[in-house]
Every structure is written in C-alpha cells, then in structure tokens.
Amino acid sequence: MAKNVVEKAEVEHPVLVYNRTKQRAIEFAEKLPAGKTEILDSIPEGVARADVIFTILAKDDIVEAVADTILKSGDVKGKLFVECSTIHPDTTTRIAKRFLDRGAEFVAAPVFGAPAMAEVGQLVGVLAGPGASIQKARQFFKGVMARSEIDMSDEPYEKALQLKIIGNTFVLNMVEQVSEGLVLAEKSGLGTQYLHQFVENIFPGPFAAYSTRIQSGAYHRMSYPLFPVDLARKDARHAFSLAEACGVRMGNLEVADAHLAAVKEHDGEKGDIAGIYGAVRAESGLKYEND
C-alpha cells in the first residue's frame, strides 16, 4: 500500500515510513527511488510531521496501543488519520472518538485483497466517516492503492468494519469449501485436476487462486504465511461476536474455525489459512502435507 502511495499519489514530500521492525522499513525503502521515502525512528516523529497518517496493524490491542502513542505525542488537531486495520467495529468506534475529541479527522478504511493485490494497487477500500474527511482520503485509494471503493460517506465508522469482518468470513468459508472439495475429489478417485478445472471455469478469481495455492503445497512450505492463522482466527472471533449480538449462528464459520485451530496446532504461528486443506486431509485419513 505504501509503495503505491509513493509511486502513484500526488505527494509533495517524501512518504514517511515507520515499522516496529525498522529493518523491514529499510528493506522497503531500498526498493524505491531515492528521496521518495524517509524512514522514521518513532511514531511521534511521524505524527509531528505528517498531515495524513495511515495505520494498518494486526490486532485490536496493537491498534489501541499505537493510538495511545499517537495521542500522547502532541497536538493532532487538523490531521487526518486513516485507519486500515481489520479490528472489531467497537474498537474502531472507540478509537475514532478519541481522535475526534482531540480535533483530528478520522476515516475507517479497511481493505479487501490479498498481498499480491496490494502490491499492484488492486485492493478494494471500504471508507466510512464524515464525507469531507473521506474526500481527503480518497486521493490515496482508487487509482493508487485500490481498484475500487465502497463509499460509506457519513455512515458510522463501525459499518466499515462490520462489512470487513463479514466479508472476511466469505474468504474463510471459501477456503473451507475448496479444501473439502479437493479432498473429496482425491479420495473419491475423481482427481483434483478435474475439480480444479471446474473451479477455474465456474468460479474464476479468488476461488481458482486459492485452489492453485492449496494444491501447490505452499501452505506447508512457506516460511511466512500470507494470511496467518492467528489473524484468521481473530477475524472469526470478531464475526462470532457480531453474530452473537444479533442472534445469528455462523455454522459454516464454526467448521472453518475448528480447522484453523488444527492448523495452529500443527504449524504454530507460521500456519496459513490455506492450511485448512491440510487439516481436512488429516481428519479424512490423509497426510497433512500434500506432497
């Protein structure tokens, strides 16, 4: 996302970059033209110098901790904060109020799309909050970080996160369905190649992409997960929380989450959402790994 801001957005100054692991920021900056980015040593340094500040972090408690650091760093009046993390809607609402109370602007802007889509600026942004603030943030989305936007101008902040959480259940259930289908195709004697051809023809796009990634064995070979199991289960917990509050049961998600628990037990923190396939294989009498 930051790469596309550097390469495509109309910014007058270097994009300021901060990562808790500084080496990752250094490696990122080295891939871009000199003078286009500046690496920061601290969050307060960035807050003091930037007019528009994006945050995208893994978990609710980390987002709240960073918000604490930002708000303790000095005057934020007039600055625009664009929060892109996948967190519980209540967390977003709570954080937004803290920024607004200090005179800042705030946009909730979670994004849909795998890392490969982020790399080429093909995410889908979901923007909620005051219309005037969204208009300021929009210059960084469609045509820069995103291929399209779901515009929730003047809607409550929590709606963007409600959509993000519910939308991510589609991803979890998709991986569950593809995994179950591939295992059944193998064990029934049909052959996974024919099911994959069906998926490519009838469900091109994400379904076909996950079918390809699953069958490649990447879920048990990759050194770092594309969609870590801990984050997938965090999203599932948020969805269960939303559903319970409304009296809805997410039965499909319960099955996927149980398989994610098996992935965590087998692979630990490096487990990936595609490992659901390995979990389904194991409970069906096959080896977890597909090699």
Catalytic residues: 164
Nearest C-alpha neighbor of 199 from the set 190, 212, 189, 186:
212
157 to 61, 92, 107, 126: CA distances (angstroms): 18, 7, 7, 10
HSE on the CB side for 62, CA within 13 Å? 14
- β pairing state of 111-112 and 123-129: antiparallel
CB atoms within 10 A of CB 23: 8
Q: What is the DSSP letter of 142?
A: B
All residues at 6 or more sequence positions from 185 whose CB lies less than 8 Å from its CB, including other chains: 191, 192, 194, 195
- β pairing state of 123-129 and 15-17: unpaired
